[in-house]
Chain A
């Protein structure tokens, strides 16, 4: 069994501040990147106990160079995708050769009452596909689904775990913390979280046979609301986007990977608008 792990950071046990997730921070980030790495390792350990033989781990947070290689298991059966920008960002390397997907350290979508909630970029106020409000988990799950691959595990705070399980009832969710607003949490200890993740991963492997690839119905209509008008000004430059309003745009395609690609390009070009004109 070939397991793909898209590992984010904000949903790691104990994390409650951007300081802990910001690679330029020299005090808190080094501690929490280790906790992130150990949660990934725990998920791998549980999966291995339940029959996983190969892993692709895609570092999916910020610079995407967070994982401590020394803390990952040794072996030829593991590939680590590291660095940014990657064309497929949080789903780089997720193809039909994968049997199941894990999302670890995931967080709530932009606008959720959840710790460090956002969707890919701070310039995104909200994003919907076919009218359904999307988290990163949902957007990425649909990419996996387009390859015929199901998601079977999500770890993170209660908001994202419960929302994802509603959309994909076959998914095993491991809630490592409850949000107390945007910048505080009521959390398991890292050690307890790792135990829960290991058990969750074991259980998730048993769901693969009954799990379903997640997808929206084609044609796909991507609608984006941006934080500012300037973000939308820049996104409108991308061929295929239609301006719906000062801070609203639409992109349609019958091919879901193109939709995700358009969304990722939108987040990247919007960031160029953040400097003063």
Chain B
């Protein structure tokens, strides 16, 4: 949701402490998703699954979505933002994505849990949420076709996955301001890009990490690392750094989810 056109402040995307602005921006969010669906549909996409992947993951206005898609709604999914990636899909879109924790000029940048994750690397590659999530999709044979968000986010994804179509809906000015397209223009652009991305799907490649998967996570505090390091299989490699190595990407992905779930319990 942070990468939706116009979004520049936490109140606009915080479903837990609803602010009047949240009601406005969840509609823009829903409309950007709808635009992507319409564009894909125009290019021949037959079936679509939409995974609400922000905050408590209950943001989409369900009665404003096209009626012929399925929706994953709700929190605490083991595969979180890429739940059901193993569903035999031909391609994936990332809508409303944002920069990785620590990115310069990236509105509301973070990686899964801002209070817990300082940074994440897989096999030495610096990871945004898009990187981690694309890795799971790639594992299941699903190529990423489209990313929308701010310039930093879109460029970050295209550096790692040059075949991905991008819609830059805004330029972030630091962490809390943006020079943005208006929502209607962003939606038009997303519809157009989604159509083009699906048409060009045959040229897309899979983004995969080669096993063994080495997950390196930097926590924000040493206390969080204390907790995460107690998970069997995790190695403490620094006061605030843990490592997990496994041959299976889905296992490593779930271990990453466990990292921020458990890390959030540090006092």
Instruction: Please give the residue numbers on chain A whose beta carbons come within 8 Å of chain B beta carbons, in ascending order.
Output: 85, 87, 230, 233-234, 236-240, 251, 253, 258, 261-262, 264-265, 268-269, 271-273, 277
Contacts and interface: CB of A to CB of B under 8 A. Distances in A.
Given A239-B233, A239-B244, A261-B232, A269 B78 contact: no
* 9 closest A-B pairs by CB: A237-B258, A277-B75, A269-B262, A239-B233, A265-B231, A237-B254, A262-B232, A272-B261, A87-B230
A265 B231 CA distance: 6
Nearest to B56: A277
B232 A273 contact: no
A69 to B, nearest CB: 21
Interface residues of B, number: 24
A240 B75 CA distance: 23
Interface string B100-132: 000000000000000000000000000000000
B16 to A, nearest CB: 10
Given A239-B232, A239-B244, A272 B262 contact: yes
B75 A85 contact: no
Given A230-B76, A277-B75, A237 B261 contact: yes
A85 to B, nearest CB: 6
Nearest to B254: A237
B126 to A, nearest CB: 23
Nearest to A275: B264
24 contacts: A85-B227, A85-B230, A87-B226, A234-B76, A234-B261, A237-B78, A237-B255, A237-B257, A237-B261, A238-B232, A238-B255, A238-B258, A239-B255, A239-B258, A251-B232, A264-B230, A265-B231, A265-B232, A268-B262, A269-B258, A269-B262, A273-B76, A277-B56, A277-B75
Given A233-B76, A277-B76, 15 more contacts: A85-B226, A85-B227, A85-B230, A85-B266, A87-B230, A236-B254, A239-B231, A239-B244, A261-B230, A261-B231, A262-B231, A265-B230, A265-B262, A272-B265, A273-B76
Contacts of A87: 226, 229-230
A235 to B, nearest CB: 9
Contacts of B75: 277
Interface string B189-222: 0000000000000000000000000000000000
Decide if the interface of chain B is mainly helix, strand, loop or mixed: loop
A240 B262 contact: no
Contacts of B246: 239
B251 interface: yes
Contact of A268 (B74, B227, B232): B227
Contacts of A240: 232-233
A268 B76 contact: no
Contacts of B232: 238-240, 251, 253, 258, 261-262, 265
A268 B265 contact: yes
Contacts of A272: 261-262, 264-265
Nearest to B255: A239
Contact of B231 (A85, A230, A238, A253): A238
Interface string B234-246: 0000000000101
B74 A277 contact: yes
A258 B255 CA distance: 16
A22 to B, nearest CB: 15
A277 B73 CA distance: 12
Interface centre among A85, A237, A261, by most chain B C-beta atoms within 10 angstroms, is: A237
A272 B258 CA distance: 10
A240 B231 CA distance: 10
B52 to A, nearest CB: 13
Nearest to A240: B232
Contact of B254 (A239, A258, A262, A273): A239
A161 to B, nearest CB: 29
Nearest to B246: A239
A178 B246 CA distance: 49
Contacts of B251: 239
Contacts of A230: 76
Interface centre among A234, A265, A271, by most chain B C-beta atoms within 10 angstroms, is: A265
Interface in B58-81: 74-76, 78
Contacts of B258: 234, 237-239, 269
Contacts of A237: 78, 254-255, 257-258, 261
B97 to A, nearest CB: 23
Contacts of A261: 230-232
Contacts of A233: 76, 78
Contacts of A273: 76
Nearest to A264: B230
A238 B264 CA distance: 15
